[in-house]
Amino acid sequence: MSAITYELIKTCKQTGARLGKVHTPHGSFDTPIFMPVGTLATVKTMSPEELKEMDAGIILSNTYHLWLRPGEDIVKEAGGLHKFMNWDRPILTDSGGFQVFSLSERRKIEEAGVHFRSHLNGEKLFLSPEKAMHIQNALGSDIMMALDECPPYPAEHAYMKKSVERTSRWAERCLAAHERKGDQGLFGIIQGGEYEDLRKQSAQDLVSLDFPGYAVGGLSVGEPKDVMNRVLEFTTPLMPTNKPRYLMGVGSPDSLIDGAIRGIDMFDCVLPTRIARNGTCMTSNGRLVVRNAKFERDYRPIDEQCDCYTCRNYSRAYIRHLIKCNETFGFRLTTYHNLYFLLNLMKQVRTAISEDRLGDFKQAFFEQYGFNEPNAKNF
């Protein structure tokens, strides 16, 4: 029996979006879900209690970052990541691959793995499928990710084909190296860029290995939004219906809804927390840059339709003041609001699926948010 199982509750008659539940060793969560990112064993500025208060069902943490600091052995000695960071709900860890391909310097990919230098101190490091499993087994996350190659967008078909094949071989090695199959579920990552034949090849390879869940990788890497949607349209039908489907690195409100409509169950992104620390908020009327001078004497909440802790208690004027003064509490307030906004959006998406009206919900949400306007400013 796998550590991770998926229960399909129903499919939206209007859109095909899935309502489901994922069961893990640290409890279950409802899908579609957005996972806040806790890079270094903390969701920046937030406490675990705040994340629970806003009903976060699962968080993500980064293997690459925890490998470098404090080191996976320290987390393991502490009793694992859950205990280390005082979070008793599910945790997903990525493989470290994305950071190696985006952050590190002087990369060299070979069949055995990736040679690279630490983005912190230039130290020579080597990440292989076996190493990615070793670190994630030490961290003890509920859901682990297989090491994949993340080619940039756009990539040539010929390069992408080789990359997909290597990612499949690495996935097999990950499965073989994974030592805690009873406690931790390992997901495979379907690559292939915008190429339908390669996505198909990747999906077939990985599905044959029978992972308890699958991710769509290599999207949200700079491609236009319609490319992402098209890739999802031909990729999700290749994925088993009885396993969770995770779209990596996606967190803008429109893409969450569009992803759910195309059959995605799980999402993660640093977007809500990163823009929050820059004073930018997601609201039901679109983005609001609370640092702006025009909010100096605006005593309304960030989002007048929001009932989160921030919006119930603080004004734009106060939050602007704090952020202008670089006060931590300001970043706490915007982070809280943005995470609440996305978690609450996904709650509404789940309700809409259960009532077979996600298409209507999308139309109304996009309208109010401003996504339907020409040249709509996304995040």
Give residues in contact with its own copies (CB under 8 A): 40-42, 44-47, 69-70, 74, 77-79, 84-86, 296-297, 299, 313-315, 317-318, 320-322, 324-325, 327-332
How do 59-61 and 91-93 pair as beta strands?
A: parallel
Could you tell me the two tokens for 353? 């699926």
Q: Of the candidates 18, 232, 57, which has an alpha carbon nearest to the alpha carbon of residue 143?
A: 57
We find the least distance from the C-beta atom of residue 141 to its own copies, in angstroms, to be 16
We find the least distance from the C-beta atom of residue 328 to its own copies, in angstroms, to be 4
We find the least distance from the C-beta atom of residue 171 to its own copies, in angstroms, to be 31
Is the separation of the CB atoms in 210 and 146 below 8 Å?
no
Amino acid at 63: T
Peptide bond preceding 70: is omega within 30 degrees of 0, i.e. cis?
yes
- Please say which residue, 71 or 237, places its beta carbon nearer to its own copies: 71
Question: Residue 35, Cβ neighbours under 10 Å: how many?
Answer: 26
- Please say which residue, 116 or 331, places its beta carbon nearer to its own copies: 331
We find the least distance from the C-beta atom of residue 70 to its own copies, in angstroms, to be 4
- Please say which residue, 55 or 165, places its beta carbon nearer to its own copies: 55
Q: Of the candidates 354, 265, 236, which has an alpha carbon nearest to the alpha carbon of residue 32?
A: 265
- Please say which residue, 118 or 368, places its beta carbon nearer to its own copies: 118
We find the least distance from the C-beta atom of residue 342 to its own copies, in angstroms, to be 20
We find the least distance from the C-beta atom of residue 79 to its own copies, in angstroms, to be 8
- Please say which residue, 235 or 335, places its beta carbon nearer to its own copies: 335
- Please say which residue, 1 or 325, places its beta carbon nearer to its own copies: 325
How do 59-61 and 143-145 pair as beta strands?
A: unpaired
Q: Distance between CA atoms of 67 and 77, rounded to whole angstroms? A: 14
- Please say which residue, 124 or 312, places its beta carbon nearer to its own copies: 312
Burial class from Cβ neighbours inside 10 Å (0-12, 13-18, 19+) for residue 76 reads middle
Question: Residue 301, Cβ neighbours under 10 Å: how many?
Answer: 21
Q: Distance between CA atoms of 21 and 286, rounded to whole angstroms? A: 29
- Please say which residue, 171 or 302, places its beta carbon nearer to its own copies: 302
> Would you name the residues annotated as active-site residues?
94, 268
We find the least distance from the C-beta atom of residue 339 to its own copies, in angstroms, to be 14
Could you tell me the two tokens for 207? 């599905």
We find the least distance from the C-beta atom of residue 80 to its own copies, in angstroms, to be 12
Q: Of the candidates 302, 297, 309, which has an alpha carbon nearest to the alpha carbon of residue 281?
A: 302
